Amino acid sequence: MNPRKLKKLKKTFRHQPLPQQRTAYMDRMNGYYKQFNDYPAIKLLISNVLLADRMLAVGDLPQQLPLLQLPDNSEDLIYQKLNQLYPAGDKTGDKIWNDLIDALPHLDHDLRSFRDYLEDHYGMWAYTPRPFISDLADFVGDRAVLEVMAGNGYISKGLRDAHKTVYATDSQAWTAENETGRHPVTTIEALSAVDAFQKYHDQVGVVVMSWSPDGLPLDWELLQAIRQSHATVDFVVLGEPHGATGSTKFWDNAEFIENAASRQLNRHYTAIDLIKDHVYLVK
């Protein structure tokens, strides 16, 4: 293929809707699903990943996920199953054993990398399951919502689908370098977090901030703006303190509200990997 035609093909592929682009990651997950078909505890993890991808691909919010971590006894499960099927020393059983044991570390790595896939393929940083959105909608009640740093808008879309009034905003600075940012799932207004709050603070009762960029003081600037305004709003923050999200200044100065509402918001917002993000009510 000549370079000009190849360049045109790559451009066409790059601007297809992301769900239509096949990925090596999901090809591998489908392969694991077949390979570990006889091991329910392992297959369940893989099937959850495949289902979440299918739901996102058609524009739906995904289901709640379990912790995507292989059982500690995975090798024992494989040994016990093969021991039932093949006598000791059987070459077929030995080959299946070797293939499965060789595949386990790769599967473990891919399960732990599901968040990376979601970020790269869908622009979803905070895994946003539909049951969590239902809890958030209950918390919102009849109040209007401002979402800042909305990314591709999964939270705002879920709340709008639940018939809530939502002002979805994002600076969209990241979209120049990330193809996924060109595929929002709902309408998003191009505003920084502080500008969005200054514009809408007197029209909303809830402000939602999900996965503020790691190390940048944007979250701290917003928190100061909220405090200085004396606006009567609930500030809902999704992130990992002193971890993968937000600034040290924000987490050092945030005041957390622990009550029935905060516990309810975390019912279905659970860890899917080693990142321990959580839902916080901040003042």
Is residue 2 predicted with pLDDT exceeding 50?
Answer: no
Query: Tell me, what's the pLDDT at 179?
Result: 54
Look up the CATH number of the domain holding residue 245: 3.40.50.150
Query: Tell me, what's the pLDDT at 180?
Result: 60
Look up the domain containing 277 and give its range: 123-282
The rounded radius of gyration (Å) of the Cα atoms in the chain is: 22
Q: Are 193 and 171 contacting, i.e. CB atoms less than 8 angstroms apart?
A: yes
**For a pLDDT cut of 70, what percent of the chain falls above it?**
89
pLDDT in tens, 39-83: 999 999 999 999 999 999 999 999 999 999 999 999 999 999 999
Read off the DSSP letter of residue 126. S
My answer on whether 274 and 163 are in the same domain is yes
My answer on whether 147 and 245 are in the same domain is yes
- Max Cα–Cα distance, the chain, nearest Å: 74
Q: Of 105, 121, 137, which marks where a domain is finished?
A: 121
Is residue 269 predicted with pLDDT exceeding 70?
Answer: yes
Query: Tell me, what's the pLDDT at 175?
Result: 61
pLDDT in tens, 117-151: 999 889 899 999 999 999 999 999 999 999 999 99
User: CA-based angle 197:252:232, to the nearest 5?
Assistant: 30
pLDDT in tens, 164-209: 999 999 998 766 555 565 689 999 999 999 999 999 999 999 999 9
Query: Tell me, what's the pLDDT at 234?
Result: 98
Cα 261 off chain centre by: 22
My answer on whether 102 and 220 are in the same domain is no
3-17, 100-114, 268-282: the lowest-pLDDT one:
3-17
Query: Tell me, what's the pLDDT at 23?
Result: 80
My answer on whether 157 and 102 are in the same domain is no
My answer on whether 38 and 151 are in the same domain is no
Handedness of CA 104, 109, 114, 117 (dihedral sign): negative
- The mean pLDDT value of the chain amounts to 91
In terms of C-beta distances under 8 Å and separation of at least 24 residues, what long-range contacts does 182-190 make, across chains too? 183/17, 183/18, 183/122, 183/123, 183/152, 184/123, 184/152, 184/153, 185/59, 185/152, 185/153, 185/154, 185/157, 186/153, 186/156, 186/157, 186/160, 187/153, 188/150, 188/152, 188/153, 188/156
Helical residues (DSSP H) of 86-144, grouped into ranges: 91-112, 114-122, 130-140
My answer on whether 193 and 204 are in the same domain is yes
Q: Name the one residue in this structure whose structure tokens are 């054993």.
A: 97
How many domains are contained in the chain? 2
User: Once rounded to an integer, what is the mean pLDDT over residues 18-32?
Assistant: 79
Q: Are 283 and 230 contacting, i.e. CB atoms less than 8 angstroms apart?
A: no
Q: Of 121, 139, 166, which marks where a domain is finished?
A: 121
What CA–CA distance (Å, rounded) separates 264 from 210? 17
What CA–CA distance (Å, rounded) separates 143 from 167? 12
Q: Of 70, 102, 121, which marks where a domain is finished?
A: 121
pLDDT in tens, 80-110: 999 999 998 899 999 999 999 999 999 999 9
My answer on whether 171 and 240 are in the same domain is yes
Other Cβ atoms within 10 Å of 130 Cβ, number: 17
Q: Are 126 and 210 contacting, i.e. CB atoms less than 8 angstroms apart?
A: yes
My answer on whether 159 and 117 are in the same domain is no
> Which pLDDT band, with edges at 50, 70 and 90, does 6 fall under?
very low
What CA–CA distance (Å, rounded) separates 230 from 252? 20
